Chain A
Amino acid sequence: MIDMKQLKDNVSSKIKQYQSQDEAQLPVPEKARFTDKETKPVVSTTASIGASIRIKGEVTGDENLLIQGHVEGTINLQGHNVTISKSGKVKANIQANQIIVEGELEGDMNGDEKVVIRETGNVRGNIIAPRVTLEDGAKFKGSIEMEPRAKTSMHNMAVTS
């Protein structure tokens, strides 16, 4: 005769034991996120091009990119972020999610989310992005496609903190 209560207790204690073992043995998952357009997880790691590296050609990939060296050609990292650091010198058109420029860029930028030109940035090119930020001291020559992001009109612009 099977004691149902004892069986239930045994099974649940076994399950708890296995669960705690599994959790301890499983590797910690890498930080992952989902892009707006796709449902596949994208591992948010950052590759970097060192200060002494020079690249000529097409740069593509599935991770963020930090450029400290020289790049000439095209950079296509859709869904990922590109940062040109202070020492970075880029002569290329860039397609990415976020583009941050702290160094020099000669080329067009197409940012799905935003483009930021930091105070040390020097850009010559055209920008298409829903949000564009130019920090005080940043140098920019080119054109910017502006998309309305707020409903306030010119007349409604007021000093607020």
Chain B
Amino acid sequence: MTLVASYVDKPETGYLMNSPLLFEMLQDLQQAGYYQLLDVMPATPGLLEAFSDQHCKLFLPGCMPELIRMRTSEDDTAQKLQRALRQALGLDGIHNTRLDMLLLWDLPNYLSKPVLSGLIEYLLAHTHHRARLHCYIYTRQLMPASPGVYQFVTGEKIWVEEQSAQTLPSPTYYQEALHKLLAPFVVERSILLSNGLQEYVLRK
């Protein structure tokens, strides 16, 4: 694999981050055999390389930008939101979808609460009964103005590129808030990372 070298060659664009829970979860899935995974980030060569030795199905709707742009108003119906989510994620047209793992990265920090809850409601119809959800939550008061780009570059490292030097207040969700927003997912494990992100694994 030469992926790491190519990213580390330009260290000014990002940094390498440990993500122990993510890789433990992947290890568990790998041992279980075939699995299905959803990643909301745009597809990258690193992602395919990372999963090239796995027996799995990757769902890569590349819908992060569309989800970020979604806004709801009081007049909106739940159906309208679900229709927009169907269009962005496109899981309905794919047969035998039973997602075992959902990679949301730092997306929950940037979605409005109704959109986040609506997203979970949409995904529930396509997940395995023991599915897990992985995300990062900002614990500091300020976060970058737009979501980062996270890429698999080695077995247990993630290359992070922050897309904005500007900041905005972070929602600083605690565990109880996540339980409400991401229900029926509940926190299984959590760890504070050195860059101030709280890494969460939630389970149905």
Binding site for B on A (CB under 8 A): 126, 131-136, 138-161
CB <8 Å contact, B53 and A151: yes
Q: Is the CB of A143 within 8 A of B94?
A: yes
From known contacts A132-B48, A134-B44, A158-B1, infer whether A148 and B53 are also in contact, taking CB-CB under 8 Å.
Answer: yes
User: Is the beta-carbon distance between A154 and B94 smaller than 8 angstroms?
Assistant: no
CB<8 Å pairs between A and B, sample of 23: A131-B52, A133-B45, A134-B45, A136-B44, A140-B42, A140-B60, A141-B60, A141-B62, A141-B90, A143-B94, A144-B58, A147-B55, A148-B52, A151-B53, A153-B27, A154-B27, A154-B156, A155-B23, A157-B50, A159-B4, A159-B5, A160-B2, A161-B2
Is there a chain A Cβ closer than 8 Å to B51's Cβ?
yes
Chain B residues, Cβ within 8 Å of A153: 27, 30, 53
A144 touches B60 (CB 8 A): yes
Q: Is the Cβ of A144 less than 8 Å from the Cβ of B45?
A: no
Residues of B within 8 A of A (CB): 1-2, 4-5, 23, 26-27, 30, 42-45, 47-48, 50-63, 90, 94, 154-156
**How distant is the Cα of A155 from the Cα of B155 in the complex, in angstroms?**
6
Q: Which of A135, A141, A150 contacts B61 (CB 8 A)?
A: A141
Query: How far, in angstroms, from A120 to B10 measured CA to CA in the complex?
Result: 22
Check A146 against B56 for contact (C-beta < 8 Å). Answer: yes
Most B CB atoms within 10 A — which of A126, A131, A150? A126
Bound-complex Cα distance A108 to B5 (A): 33
A133 near B58 with CB under 8 A, answer no
Complex Cα gap A121–B52 (Å): 20
B residues within 8 A CB of A155? Answer: 23, 27, 155-156
Q: What chain A residues lie within 8 Å of B56 (beta carbons)?
A: 146
Smallest Cβ-Cβ distance to B155: which chain A residue: A157
Q: Are B48 and A134 in contact, CB atoms less than 8 angstroms apart?
A: yes
Are B52 and A149 in contact (CB-based, < 8 A)? Answer: yes
With both chains docked as a complex, state the minimum distance between the C-beta of B154 and any C-beta of chain A, in angstroms.
Answer: 6
Given the known interface contacts A135-B45, A146-B52, A146-B54, the answer about A154 and B2 at a Cβ–Cβ threshold of 8 Å is no
Cβ of A150: which chain B residues have Cβ within 8 Å of it?
A: 52-53
Residue of A nearest to B58 (CB): A144
For residue B149, give the distance in angstroms from its CB to the closest CB of chain A. 13
Give complex CA distance A72, B47 in Å: 30
CA distance A161 to B8 in the complex (A): 14
Taken together as a complex, chains A and B put the C-alpha atoms of A126 and B57 apart, in Å, by 10
Write out the residue numbers on chain A whose beta carbons fall within 8 Å of the beta carbon of B50.
154, 157
Q: Which residues of B contact A131 (CB under 8 A)?
A: 52
**B53 — nearest CB in chain A belongs to which residue?**
A150
A159 touches B94 (CB 8 A): no
Chain A positions within 8 Å of B61 at CB level: 141-142
Query: Among the interface residues A133, A136, A142, A149, which one has the most CB atoms of the partner chain B within 10 A?
Result: A142
Query: How far apart are A74's CB and chain B's nearest CB, in angstroms?
Result: 17
